[in-house]
Structures are given as structure tokens and as C-alpha cells.
């Protein structure tokens, strides 16, 4: 994850971060008036933007997604949970290109075959799940909203945009951006990838942590799982304490995996 720090030394990457944030916010804000769940989340076709920008601009897109989402939140009402939303969108823009570096074998992310489509789907799903985990985990710990509400709606919202909109945008812009030598790999030649064994381990930890957090968060926040080793006052609704105790280590595992990637 060192590139998240190094990119701020590169003027062109900073400009691309600003462009990514502006694009994301510009599409987010108008749809604030089309809520899926009033006061919780809205229709978000803008979620296609971080996926596209991730494959193009790498770490600049990650910061752009986080900043753009924060700008959008200012128009929909600010709450303590927005801090978790910032981190969630940072990872939503970070995971696709990092995972693609591991699974692509040098292929373009533009979908031209079933094999590429499966890899693309996996990268988008991994990004969507961790994004949903962070928001659901944070809001449930703050006793704002249950994990089961946000953890599932966000995955659905993200994946609809990522699968229905992002592939067409990516197909239209990837080749021109590559020919203009504006891909993050061209702009940051100093980046060095970790050994494949380490990155593969990181990916495995990421998937294990985020899937475990999603399953545990859903079971705990709906009351379907009441851990016998925890006292009753901890496992009582709104389940904020049990989510903090059980889900937090799994979230940490996912972040450790990202660091290894």
C-alpha cells in the first residue's frame, strides 16, 4: 500500500486524483434525491466511476473515490459513520487494480473473453464486499444502523454499477488512456511489485477476512448468532458490542492482506 503515499509526490497523479474525485462527486450528488433506503443509501450509478478509474489511475483513483464520496456525503447529511465511508471508498478504489495485478497475467481489464469477465467480476466483488463491510461494521459499532442493512445493500448497489456500467466505460476509455501513456503504471514507473507468493497470500487473507466479516456481521446483527462465549449484555441489540468484538479482528485480517498485496 506504499503507493497510496508515494502518489502524492507525483503531480500528474495528484491531478488524476482530483479528476477522479470530481467525476465521482458530480455523479453522486444528483442521485441523492433517489433514495433506495431513505436516510441510508440512494441509487448510485456513480459507483461505476471508482472501478473504471482504479484500472486506469491506480492509487489516484483510490484517494479520488474516498474524497469524492466525502464530498457527496456533505450533500446528504454528515454523520460519524462518514469516516468509515471514507475508508470504505478508499478500498473500493484500491482493490480492483491491486487484485488485477495478481490475477490478470498481463491481460487488459477490458472484457473481451469469458475468462477476463470472470476475473473482472471477482475484482469488483472483492472491492464491493470490503466496502460494504467497512460501512456496515462502522455504523453498527456506532449503533446507527445494523450491519445486515448496509452490508447487503452496498454490495448490491456497487455490483450493479460495476457490472452494468463500468465495462462499457472502460472499453471506451482504456485504449485512449493507455495510448496517451496516462495509466498509473506509466506515471509511476518507480512502483515495484512484491513477490507473487506474498501478494497471493495477501489476496487470500483479504478474501478470508472480508467474507468472514460479512458473514459474521450479518449473523450477529440479525440475532441469528449469539456467541455462547460472550455475556448476554454484550450480545444484546443493537449488537454493537458483539459486532465490535467478533468482526473487528476479521476486518484487521482483511487490511493486513491488503498491505501484503
- pLDDT per position as a tens digit, 96-152: 999 999 999 889 999 999 999 999 999 999 999 999 999 999 999 998 889 998 889
**pLDDT higher than 80, residue 77:** no
Greater pLDDT, 78 or 256: 256
**pLDDT higher than 90, residue 215:** yes
The model's confidence at residue 78, banded by pLDDT at 50, 70 and 90, is confident
- What is the average per-residue pLDDT within 10-28? 95
The model's confidence at residue 40, banded by pLDDT at 50, 70 and 90, is low
**pLDDT tens per residue across span 218-251:** 999 998 888 888 888 888 888 889 999 999 999 9
Determine the pLDDT at residue 197: 95
Determine the pLDDT at residue 180: 94
- What is the average per-residue pLDDT within 206-218? 97
Which of helix, strand or coil describes residue 36? strand
Query: CB-based contacts of 44: which residues, under 8 Å, 6+ apart?
Result: 28, 31, 157, 158, 161
Ramachandran sector of residue 39 (left: φ over 0; alpha: ψ -120 to 50; beta: rest) = left
**pLDDT higher than 70, residue 33:** no
The model's confidence at residue 257, banded by pLDDT at 50, 70 and 90, is very high
CA 240 to mean position of chain CA atoms: 22
Torsion of the alpha carbons at 157, 247, 123 and 121, rounded to the nearest 10: -50
Greater pLDDT, 207 or 79: 207
Indicate the average pLDDT of the chain.
92
Determine the pLDDT at residue 74: 83
Determine the pLDDT at residue 37: 64
- What is the average per-residue pLDDT within 194-222? 96
**pLDDT tens per residue across span 150-181:** 889 999 999 999 999 999 999 999 999 999 99
**pLDDT higher than 80, residue 38:** no
Determine the pLDDT at residue 206: 98
- Residue 108 DSSP symbol: -
Q: How is residue 172 written as a grid cell?
A: 471506451
Looking at domain 3-193, which of 3.30.470.20, 3.40.50.10800, 1.10.260.30, 1.10.1760.20 is its CATH number?
1.10.1760.20
- What is the average per-residue pLDDT within 194-220? 96
- Residue 233 DSSP symbol: T
Query: CB-based contacts of 189: which residues, under 8 Å, 6+ apart?
Result: none
Amino acid at each position: 500500500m506504499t503507493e497510496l503515499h508515494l502518489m502524492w509526490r507525483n503531480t500528474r497523479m495528484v491531478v488524476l486524483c482530483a479528476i477522479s474525485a470530481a467525476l465521482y462527486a458530480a455523479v453522486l450528488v444528483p442521485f441523492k434525491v433517489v433514495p433506495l433506503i431513505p436516510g441510508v443509501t440512494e441509487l448510485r450509478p456513480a459507483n461505476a466511476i471508482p472501478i473504471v478509474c482504479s484500472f486506469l489511475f491506480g492509487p489516484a483513483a483510490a484517494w479520488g473515490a474516498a474524497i469524492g464520496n466525502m464530498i457527496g456525503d456533505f450533500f446528504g447529511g454528515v454523520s460519524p459513520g462518514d469516516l468509515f465511508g471514507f475508508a470504505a471508498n478508499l478500498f473500493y478504489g484500491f482493490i480492483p487494480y491491486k487484485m488485477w495485478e495478481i490475477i490478470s497475467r498481463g491481460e487488459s481489464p477490458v472484457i473481451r473473453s469469458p475468462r477476463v469477465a470472470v476475473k473482472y467480476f471477482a475484482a469488483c466483488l472483492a472491492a464491493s464486499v470490503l466496502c460494504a463491510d467497512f460501512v456496515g461494521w462502522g455504523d453498527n459499532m456506532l449503533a446507527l444502523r445494523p450491519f445486515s442493512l448496509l452490508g447487503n445493500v452496498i454490495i448490491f448497489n456497487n455490483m450493479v454499477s460495476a457490472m452494468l456500467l463500468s465495462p462499457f466505460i472502460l472499453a471506451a476509455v482504456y485504449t485512449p488512456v493507455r495510448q496517451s501513456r496516462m495509466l498509473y503504471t506509466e506515471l509511476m514507473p518507480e512502483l515495484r511489485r512484491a513477490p507473487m507468493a506474498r501478494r497471493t497470500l495477501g489476496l487470500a487473507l483479504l478474501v478470508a477476512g472480508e467474507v468472514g466479516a460479512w458473514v459474521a456481521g450479518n449473523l450477529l446483527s440479525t440475532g441469528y448468532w449469539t456467541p455462547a462465549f460472550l455475556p448476554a449484555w454484550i450480545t444484546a441489540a443493537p449488537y454493537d458490542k458483539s459486532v465490535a468484538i467478533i468482526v473487528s479482528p476479521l476486518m484487521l485480517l482483511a487490511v493486513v492482506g491488503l498491505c501484503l498485496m
